[in-house]
Structure 1
Amino acid sequence: MTAIDRAARAPQAEQGLLVDAAGVRQIYQKGDNADLVVLDDVSLSIREGEVVGLLGRSGSGKSTLLRIICGLVKPTSGRVEWRGKPVTGPSEGLSMVFQSFALFPWLTVLENVEVGLEAIGVPAAERRRRSLEAIDLIGLDGFESAYPKELSGGMRQRVGFARALVVHPRLLLMDEPFSALDVLTAETLRTDLIELWIEGRLPIKSILMVTHNIEEAVLMCDRILIFSSNPGRVAAEIKINLPHPRSRVDPVFRAIVDDIYARMTQRVPVDTGARKEESGAPGIGMALPHISTNLLSGLMEALAAAPYGGKADLPDLAATLQMEVDELFPIVETLQLLRFAELEEGDVRLTDAGRRFVDSEQDARKRLFAEHLIAHVPLAGLIRRVLDERPSHRAPFTRFSEELEDHMSEDFAEETLRGLITWGRYGELFGYDEHTRQFNLENPA
């Protein structure tokens, strides 16, 4: 049994059930009979005494699920219970910390913290006592009379934590609370929070947090639910049985991080809002990200250079480039789509074509990129073929967007074509006139 197996299989003590959700589905109407499925058949439970992380990329529905659990959003279907009772609206015993600081600028630190207690009718003396305790607990003693504009980003977020904790919630919900902070400030606040949790000094029973930072999730959580995207589904659950404080250089920690990267880079078909009964012409309806060719070439160059020599561990590469999951994965997956790189168990490796690209001069790079675009992205071949066949060598944007909308939502069609315009221009396959909204062959040879 490997180290990660031992960590994943460690038993958890039975605790009181706080949240029980089953079959949660969230759909938004997009018009033109196309629905946006944000969450699909999501089930989870949260018990007392645990820190649970929802980990995934943007668009995986993590924040939506958090709002469903706290009663701010009603799911399209499914069941959500808080302490055994159906959630029908905002529930007592939950507090949330948001990514943005969301402080009232005209109130002092103390007054911002008191707001929640005042809203639920706590007497003034008790309100003041509890607020001062929360401010002291979160490390802001001495700043009670300061206004938000006088505070750094990290201190403002500490006020947000104090305001959430002062009502003594059973469950603290955190929606990417560290992502708006610089690296050092985020690390300090993260460490302080987990120390308070381990020492039993926080007036809460459990924490449910949303993040797209893999190492952050492994540093803090007892369980991690990995979400796939478009629509959001629970793709995997990993239990973490490492003592606190956790070290990033611990071999078991690194093994868990590597395992999560490998799971998150497994290719899963994207649900683009297609009307399934009309989704013919395989390949044309492939959703494409809008990724700059500068990012694609830059990542290939970084992979080819020392110390990687063409192959890199994704967590190590992300740390070196100071990139988050949401930033790195779409670039790597686009290189895989174009056959310039391959993903292997959490590693990314340049293909022979990727190495040739890096070693080539600018014009040769463009030709190679165009060849791979035609060979591996059917929509690019369709656009070039239509332009070649028309006497005017022109075609309106709607010629292709309307065809794509047989396979995906209007928004996905727009993003796909916008990304392809960038790639087509770089490879000199075709041009595009934004004023007339027409593809053309004026620039390509």
Structure 2
Amino acid sequence: MTASTTTGAVLLDLAGISKRFTGAAGDELRVLDGIDLQLRSGEIVALLGRSGSGKSTLLRIIAGLIAPSGGHVRYRGRELNGANPGAALVFQSFALMPWLTVQDNVELGLAARNVAPAERRKRALDAIDMIGLDGFESAYPKELSGGMRQRVGFARALVLEPDLLLMDEPFSALDVLTAENLRTELVNLWETDGFPTKSICVVTHNIEEAVLLADRVLVLGSNPGRIIAEIAITTPRPRDKRAPGFEAMVDQIYGLLTGRDTEPAVAEVDTATPTARPLPEASVGGLAGLVELVYANGGRADLPAVADDLNFEIDDLLPLVDAAAMLGFLTVEDGDVLLTDIGARFTTADILESKKIFAEQARHRAPLVRTICKGLTGSADGSLRAGFFLDLLRRGFGPEDARRQLDTAINWGRYAELYDYDTDSDKITADPDAQVFAGVRGKWTM
């Protein structure tokens, strides 16, 4: 099978898929919304997106492990109302039974299907041989390297001869060289006539991995997860990372992923709410380091090149980009980041001036920081319990995301010396010397 192979029959059809979860307080969190997707025989499809885009949730709906809140899932034309009989899943964390040998682990799925012992043994040994672990049948997982354990995970899935091989970030727990080797071997197996599966769907946050493997890349947006772009990759496999066409495709996808609200309209800077424009989960040191890197590069940097140089995944780099863009230090243009005038001042100033610049940008452009500052200004003594803001955030976020939002805002505000936080009292208190609170200090009892 190659990228030029005409894809065949529809194996799986998702129409109007949505997924909602209800929190302990009865709040509703929308994870997926309006997903339409078909998986066909003869193709590899990559689901690519940031953390929180619902990639893994979507994969589990395809596998039939969780039910959608709305829409329809059809496998070979029939409504799916339970585990997908034509799918097998490869996990990120290997998920092997430590007390079972390699062969016993590979036979697990066959045993669950009541396959006779002799047939189980034959098919398991064939799968073990196919993925390059011949000779390790009697080994236990603790005796294997990470790459070898993931090979066992592949064998356990492939021995079921599934129509759909579903993979949830299968290479992310491996070192770079091992991951590269396994990806290459997977492509080689896919190209052989005897490969026992008809379609592969892989979840990843690695853009290069998606372009290396897939015939189609589906780019998911976040909050809630939805498909924002579908990109066909027509270059035959194996693909060369150094080819100009490869680099252009990676740049295009970076542009799609960085185009989401990284540069707000002027009016939105003053009016956006903390739930409509969440804070990226980025430390001040991290975003400052990125701004400094772009400055050292002459004021412009190619994001794929930055990620490659730093060995960063998309989930590592893009929150820093989003944070720097939110604060007006960088702008994003087609996968490149450009330094702004205020960004240049921020990165070249001394520490005190740098903090003043950060404080001004944060209280003006970061909605949650602005909301906290306004709340403290309106309070009787310049302080409020953090739980007050946490309760407000829970109206738009799940409990964990609400806590992360508040923690990020506290860290940014502390660095900017806008306010401080006392863990014991759970109180956020304004810094009386911060310019934003000038003129109202007289009504506080500090």
Report if TM-score (shorter chain) is over 0.5: yes
| 1:25-104 aligned within 5 A | 25-104=18-97
Report the counterpart of residue 345 of structure 2 in structure 1. Answer: 356
Match of 2:304 among 307, 312, 315: 315
Unaligned stretches of 5+ in structure 1? 1-9, 270-279
Match of 1:292 among 278, 283, 306: 283
| 1:289-438 aligned within 5 A | 289-305=280-296, 308-388=297-377, 390=379, 392-405=381-394, 408=397, 410-438=399-427
Gap change, CA 1:83 and 1:349, over 3 Å in 2? same
Gap change, CA 1:122 and 1:401, over 3 Å in 2? closer
Q: Provide the rounded CA distance (Å) in 2 between the counterparts of 1:247 and 1:14.
A: 23
Gap change, CA 1:39 and 1:444, over 3 Å in 2? same
Q: Tell me if structure 2 keeps the 8 A contact 1:289–1:415.
A: no
| 1:113-192 aligned within 5 A | 113-192=106-185
Q: Provide the rounded CA distance (Å) in 1 between the counterparts of 2:127 and 2:25.
A: 50
Bigger mean CA deviation after superposition, 350-359 or 235-244: 350-359
Give the AA of the match of 1:415.
R
Q: Provide the rounded CA distance (Å) in 2 between the counterparts of 1:25 and 1:262.
A: 26
| 1:208-357 aligned within 5 A | 208-268=201-261, 282-285=272-275, 286-305=277-296, 308-357=297-346
Percentage of identical aligned residues: 50
Q: Provide the rounded CA distance (Å) in 2 between the counterparts of 1:171 and 1:384.
A: 52
Q: Tell me if structure 2 keeps the 8 A contact 1:287–1:413.
A: no
Report the counterpart of residue 275 of structure 1 in structure 2. Answer: none
Unaligned stretches of 5+ in structure 2? 263-269, 435-446
1:170 is displaced (CA, Å) by 1.2
Q: Tell me if structure 1 keeps the 8 A contact 2:279–2:368.
A: no
Q: Tell me if structure 1 keeps the 8 A contact 2:5–2:42.
A: no
Give the AA of the match of 2:116.
P
1:302 is displaced (CA, Å) by 1.6
SS at match of 2:74: strand
CA deviation digits over 1:304-346, x for unaligned, max 9? 22xx222111111111111111111111011000000000111
Q: Provide the rounded CA distance (Å) in 1 between the counterparts of 2:26 and 2:351.
A: 45
Bigger mean CA deviation after superposition, 209-218 or 385-394: 385-394
TM value normalised by structure 1: 0.91
Q: Provide the rounded CA distance (Å) in 2 between the counterparts of 1:319 and 1:145.
A: 39
TM value normalised by structure 2: 0.90
CA deviation digits over 1:346-399, x for unaligned, max 9? 111111111112211211211111111122124433433443454533222134
CA deviation digits over 1:177-208, x for unaligned, max 9? 00111111100011001111012332111101
SS at match of 1:289: coil
Q: Provide the rounded CA distance (Å) in 2 between the counterparts of 1:406 and 1:111.
A: 48
Report the counterpart of residue 266 of structure 2 in structure 1. Answer: none
Q: Tell me if structure 2 keeps the 8 A contact 1:290–1:416.
A: yes
RMSD: 2.0
Gap change, CA 1:203 and 1:434, over 3 Å in 2? same
